[in-house]
Amino acid sequence: MTGHPKFINTLPSFHAELKSRISLYFDKKGISTAGGIHSYFKSFVFLATFFGIYTFILFFTNILFLQIILSVILGFLIACIGFNVVHDGAHGSLSKKKSLNTLAAFTLNIFGGSHYMWNVKHNIIHHSFTNVDGIDDDLELSPFMRLCKAQKINKLHKYQHIYFWALYSFLYLFWILVSDYIKYFKGKIGEFSYKKMSAYDHFIFWGFKAFHLLIFVALPILTMSFLTWLICFLVYSLVAGLVLSIVFQLAHTVEHTHFPIPNKITGNMEDEWAIHQLKTTANFATNNKLISWFLGGLNFQIEHHLFPKISHIHYPEISKIVKQMCNEYGVEYIEYKRMRNALASHISYIKNLGR
Ligand SMILES: [Zn+2]
């Protein structure tokens, strides 16, 4: 097999039929697929709250206990900004205006990530080859975790259902301080070679990495103390890492999702792309409005994977159409009623894989 796996075309195509039903929904309602004012409001609330609290911690209090409590909230807000602002912007679903989507995706750079690497890792690799071992970088936590049967097992994995909490917490720190640089210097994400970066892309990468260190390392060390900064930095980074990891893992690595393998000779996947997405993705807590609001619709991952360019604010409505079609075509629609059911399923899934 050479190159990347290919999805087969089926006739009649499930995807084509689903797309036409969804576009009919938007035509009938006469509404845009973008988030618009709803998403602008959310983006403003999350960003303003984050920087308000951050400024308060740096300049207006020196009570360590309060700084730590507020850092926990900062960590949660970083994850929310990731879900609602960066993620939607990068998919082009936040606004009808391209410039606003670009700006939203760009926010990631301020928080130490790289919008360029995210676009390749998430939009191109993860969304195209979801749960395909060796390509989907979200499954790559070796040697610490075994996330699908195709991956080699080691002695450590026996305990992965216990230590994953700690490991997941380091995701954000590892991402901004280590893995972005590995991707940058290798010119690859896993085995996936990405398009050569332009001079502008290099400038943005290094410029914002430096800006992040200035705002989140140098400045707080100057205004607080080294130790206070270190405690707060670790607290919000670990909370952000844990929330981000858990939300992304619950959508794909649970007991009911599949991990399809391409044909060794032809490189073909066994399903058409949309069916592949339905087999590899799960929803959770879709009736919980609070979870849906904070997670930017990432509890509706099925709809997100099928229609990444449609804003998450429409997922509750279009999920009815997707579910209906799955019923008609006899395709499984993987859904966990509550977030804790999905979490329990993730834990039992990784526990079994570690045996
Ligand atoms: Zn996405």
**In angstroms, what is the span from residue 308 Cα to ligand 1's centroid?**
6
Q: What is the per-residue pLDDT for 5?
A: 87
**In angstroms, what is the span from residue 119 Cα to ligand 1's centroid?**
9
Residue spans of the chain under pLDDT 50: 1-2
**In angstroms, what is the span from residue 307 Cα to ligand 1's centroid?**
9
Radius of gyration of the chain (CA): 21
Q: What are 193's two structure tokens?
A: 């070679």
Residue for token digits 């080859």? 129
Q: What is the per-residue pLDDT for 1?
A: 45
Helices (H) and strands (E) in the chain, counts: 18, 4
Per residue in 234-287, pLDDT (tens digit) is 999 999 999 999 999 999 999 999 999 998 888 899 899 999 999 999 999 999
Q: Which stretch of DSSP H or E encloses residue 285?
A: none
**In angstroms, what is the span from residue 127 Cα to ligand 1's centroid?**
7
Q: Label each residue of 40-82 as H, E or C.
A: HHHHHHHHHHHHHHHHHHHHHCCCHHHHHHHHHHHHHHHHHHH
**In angstroms, what is the span from residue 63 Cα to ligand 1's centroid?**
39
Alpha helix locations (H) across 177-225?
A: 180-186, 199-213, 219-223
Q: Which stretch of DSSP H or E encloses residue 227?
A: helix 226-252
Q: What are 61's two structure tokens?
A: 């209090």
Q: Label each residue of 108-131 as H, E or C.
A: HHHCCCCHHHHHHHHHHHHHHCCC
Give the separation between CA 11 and CA 190, rounded to whole angstroms. Answer: 33
7 lies in a domain? no
Give the separation between CA 74 and CA 316, rounded to whole angstroms. Answer: 28
Q: Which amino acid is at 18?
A: L
**In angstroms, what is the span from residue 305 Cα to ligand 1's centroid?**
7
Q: Total domain count for the chain?
A: 1
Domain of 314, in residue numbers: 14-354
Per residue in 2-11, pLDDT (tens digit) is 478 888 887 7
**In angstroms, what is the span from residue 226 Cα to ligand 1's centroid?**
36
Q: Tell me the pTM.
A: 0.93
**In angstroms, what is the span from residue 121 Cα to ligand 1's centroid?**
10
**In angstroms, what is the span from residue 298 Cα to ligand 1's centroid?**
8
Name the 3-class secondary structure at 105. helix
**In angstroms, what is the span from residue 248 Cα to ligand 1's centroid?**
10
